[in-house]
């Protein structure tokens, strides 16, 4: 049974993986995003994730639907944690099950890229020398008037 969830609890990886296991599947790709300590020279102390939870869960489901349109035999679960996280804590767990391995990699990669585009979740980094809400302003100059559409191949 696919899961699309925003939670403030620690993510149970096994539960996410188990949710996509089926007899038709021979491959499960899991992507886990963890809190990294260093980005270049900047040292992260902790992270705060905030979400618009009800909309974020809808967007996660939408990613699952987009995936099934592209890879019909794939099952997807995505759980994203919010609140305060420490170094190496898991922020997001994606599990994708498919009959063959190629699609499991492709669909998993698609899921993480789409999360970074359309799911209303925001990260605030606390560094040793300050804090900042992350959001790639520079790469989104045309973002203002753009409704995210399903990606075309």
Partner 1 sequence: MITVLFFAKQQEQLGLDKLERAESQLAVAELKQKLIEDYPELSLDHTMTAINEEYADEDQMINDQDIVAFIPPVSGG
Least Cα distance to 83 among 118, 116, 46, 50 occurs for 50
5 is in the binding site of which of its own copies, partner 1, none (Cβ under 5 to 8 A by kind)? none
Count other Cβ atoms within 10 Å, centred on residue 129.
8
DSSP letter (8 states) at residue 99: S
61 is in the binding site of which of partner 1, its own copies, none (Cβ under 5 to 8 A by kind)? none
Of the candidate residues 88, 129, 147, 152, the single one contacting partner 1 (CB under 8 A): 147
Of the candidate residues 68, 70, 109, 123, the single one contacting partner 1 (CB under 8 A): 123
Query: CA-CA distance, 92 to 126, in Å (whole number)?
Result: 19
Of the candidate residues 41, 88, 128, 137, the single one contacting partner 1 (CB under 8 A): 137
The answer to whether 34 contacts its own copies (rule: CB under 8 A) is yes
Residue 31-50 contact track with partner 1, rule CB under 8 A, x = bound? --x---------------xx
Residue 72, SS3 per DSSP: coil
Query: CA-CA distance, 151 to 97, in Å (whole number)?
Result: 21
In residues, how long is the chain?
A: 153
Minimum CB separation from its own copies for residue 6, in Å?
20
In 40-129 the beta strands, taken as DSSP E runs, fall at 42-51, 75-81, 83-86, 90-98, 121-127
Alpha helices (H) in 32-75, listed in sequence order: 53-70
**Closer residue to its own copies, CB minimum distance, 77 or 108:** 108
Of the candidate residues 30, 55, 70, 106, the single one contacting partner 1 (CB under 8 A): 55
User: Interaction with its own copies in 10-29: which residues (CB under 8 A)?
Assistant: 13-14, 17, 21-29
Residues that bind partner 1 in the complex, under the rule CB under 8 A: 33, 49-52, 54-56, 58, 80, 91-92, 112, 115-124, 133-137, 140-141, 143-148
């Amino acid at each position: 049974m696919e899961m699309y969830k925003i939670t403030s609890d620690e993510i149970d990886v096994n539960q996410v993986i188990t949710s996509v296991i089926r007899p038709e599947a021979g491959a499960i790709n899991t992507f886990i995003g963890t809190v990294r300590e260093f980005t270049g020279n900047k040292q992260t102390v902790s992270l705060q994730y905030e979400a618009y939870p009800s909309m974020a869960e809808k967007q996660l489901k939408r990613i699952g639907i987009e995936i099934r349109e592209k890879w019909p035999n794939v099952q997807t679960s995505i759980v994203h944690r919010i609140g305060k996280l420490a170094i190496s804590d898991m922020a997001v767990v994606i599990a994708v099950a498919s009959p063959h391995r190629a699609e499991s990699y492709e669909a998993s990669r698609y899921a993480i890229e789409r999360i970074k585009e359309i799911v209303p979740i925001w990260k605030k980094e606390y560094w040793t020398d300050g804090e900042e809400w992350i959001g790639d302003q520079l790469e989104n100059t045309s973002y203002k008037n753009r409704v995210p559409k399903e990606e075309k191949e």
